[in-house]
Structure 1
Amino acid sequence: MPMTDFLFTSESVSEGHPDKVSDQISDAILDAILTQDPKSRVA
């Protein structure tokens, strides 16, 4: 694929959608882990 061609994809979900709730939970867990140990690794 030449550099001028690209594939663009996106997803949109409404507020309260389980994906958004899961993202908020995982973000909160990550923030808590990094607060306790800034050098921690997560995947």
Structure 2
Amino acid sequence: MGSVVSQHNSRLFTSESVTEGHPDKICDAISDAILDGLLSKDPRSRVAVETLVTTGQVHVAGEVTTEAYADIPTIVRE
């Protein structure tokens, strides 16, 4: 995720790992499905999509430039 340079000129690398079913994994899967769906119909699509989840709610935010259509509510439910 990031690195920090200490006063001794060494680096400390950190990372995060989450398991299947974690909200981050679910969000990534939804965003990836939207991206894949758009790119399969329009390879020139430009997609910057983030998915946010909380209890009983899913929000998809970002910007898309494409000639394709993605049925986002259906993608989220799948």
- TM-score range normalised by the length of the shorter chain: 0.7 to 0.9
More helix by share: 1
Aligned length: 41
TM-score norm. by structure 1 comes to 0.76
More strand by share: 2
Structure 1: state its 5+ residue gaps: none
Match of 1:24 among 23, 29, 54: 29
TM-score norm. by structure 2 comes to 0.46
Partner Cα distance (2:44, 2:17) in 1: 33
Q: Which runs of 4+ in 1 moved over 3 A?
A: 4-7
Match of 2:38 among 12, 20, 33: 33
Which structure has the higher relative contact order (CA within 8 Å, separation 6+)?
A: 2
